[in-house]
């Protein structure tokens, strides 16, 4: 009585993430950045223990993650940074630039447009969009803000592959539809809504309010157990261990 004929639930999941586990991909990106820093500092090799300590990950987990992209370590020595870096970039799809379109140039969007962490890491922001006539036409970081309705044309022209949505919630779905119609396959959504997209479009959501609420939950848990307890002796000097992992 419950489930009707139904489609295949397993097929899609396995087909989507051939080989590399979702959770590992996120950490690989972390390793990539840390390796870049180490490389700039002139290091030639790293051991899994060193890299694990630097990224706050369990060494065994790190090795397993790296094993998904091949055997680039030397037993008894560690990992040669240069080749590993190259292989990581390859595996994460960073060998060809991914142009980003950002829709919504309000408070948050403006900051994202100017955020150096994107362009510096192979994700140049190639187009900006908004509906507000006061914003359309202004320059941010050398890029002109265009009207939302131009999304399909301009995205195609500039070879946009990734969309970021930083609009208010109510506008997000419409903008999302435009991005999808422009051929964008991946969307990073900062708006507090659940986007409806075709099955072949990937959406990731960053929800700042939810992040805070998760923290608030932990604060509350603490206060149930401990008394007020203000840490007045400066613990600022010794930070014992620990970089608390998270999903």
Partner DNA sequence: GCAACTTTGTGCCTGTGTTCACAAGCGGCT
Partner DNA sequence: AGCCGCTTGTGAACACAGGCACAAAGTTGC
**Residues 64-103 within binding reach of DNA (CB under 7 A):** 64, 66-67, 71-79
Angle at 195 between CA 194 and CA 201, to 5 degrees: 135
Q: How far is the CB of 61 from DNA (least distance, A)?
A: 4
Contact 181, 163 (CB under 8 A): no
Rounded Cα distance, 30 and 28, in Å:
5
CB 125 within 8 A of CB 141: yes
Which of residues 73 and 104 has its CB atom nearest to DNA in the complex? 73
Question: Using the rule CB under 7 A, is 226 a contact of DNA?
Answer: no
Give CA–CA dist 73/13, Å, rounded.
30
Interacting residues with DNA between 18 and 37 (CB under 7 A): 21-24
The nearest distance, CB 74 to its own copies, in angstroms, is: 21
Half-sphere exposure of 93 (CA within 13 A, CB side): 7
Alpha-carbon distance of 26 to 204, in angstroms, equals 12
21 binds, among DNA, its own copies, none (CB under 5 to 8 A by kind): DNA
Task: For residue 116, report the phi and psi dihedrals to the nearest 5 degrees.
Answer: -70, -20
- Residue 18 Cβ, how far from DNA at the closest point, in Å? 11
Q: What is the smallest separation between the CB atom of 153 and its own copies, expressed in angstroms?
A: 11
- Report whether 191 contacts 208 (CB < 8 A): no
Binding-site partner at residue 134 among its own copies, DNA, none, CB < 5 to 8 Å by type: none
Residue selected from 30, 39, 43, 59 as contacting DNA according to rule CB under 7 A: 59
The reply to whether 205 sits near DNA by the rule CB under 7 A is no
- Cα-based angle 119, 121, 124 (whole degrees, multiple of 5): 25
CB atoms closer than 10 angstroms to residue 102:
30
In the three-class reduction of DSSP (H, G, I as helix; E, B as strand; rest coil), residue 68 is classed as: coil
Minimum CB distance to DNA, residue 72 (Å): 6
Residue 200: CB minimum distance to its own copies, A:
8
Partner from DNA, its own copies, none binding residue 11, C-beta < 5-8 Å depending on class: none
Q: By rule CB under 7 A, what string of x and - marks binding of each residue 37-56 to DNA?
A: ---------xxxx-------
Site for DNA, rule CB under 7 A: 1-4, 6, 9-10, 13-14, 21-24, 46-49, 58-61, 63-64, 66-67, 71-79, 245, 247
């Amino acid at each position: 009585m419950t489930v009707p004929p139904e489609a295949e639930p397993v097929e899609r999941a396995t087909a989507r993430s051939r080989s590399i586990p979702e959770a590992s991909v996120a950490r690989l990106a972390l390793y990539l950045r840390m390796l870049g820093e180490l490389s700039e500092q002139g290091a030639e090799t790293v051991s899994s223990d060193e890299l694990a300590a630097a990224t706050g990950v369990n060494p065994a987990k790190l090795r397993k993650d790296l094993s998904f992209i091949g055997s680039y370590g030397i037993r008894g020595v560690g990992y040669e940074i240069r080749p590993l870096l190259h292989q990581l970039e390859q595996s994460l799809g960073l060998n060809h630039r991914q142009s980003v379109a950002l829709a919504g140039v309000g408070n948050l969007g403006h900051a994202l447009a100017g955020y150096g962490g994107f362009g510096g890491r192979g994700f140049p922001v190639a187009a900006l969009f908004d509906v507000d006539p006061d914003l359309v036409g202004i320059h941010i970081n050398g890029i002109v803000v265009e009207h939302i309705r131009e999304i399909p044309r301009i995205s195609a022209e500039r070879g946009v592959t990734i969309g970021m949505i930083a609009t208010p919630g109510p506008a997000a779905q419409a903008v999302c539809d435009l991005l999808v119609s422009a051929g964008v396959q991946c969307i990073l959504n900062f708006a507090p809504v659940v986007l409806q997209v075709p099955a072949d479009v990937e959406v990731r959501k960053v929800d700042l309010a939810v992040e805070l609420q998760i923290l608030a939950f932990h604060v509350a848990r603490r206060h149930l157990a401990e008394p007020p307890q203000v840490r007045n002796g400066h613990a600022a000097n010794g930070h014992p261990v620990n970089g608390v992992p998270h999903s």
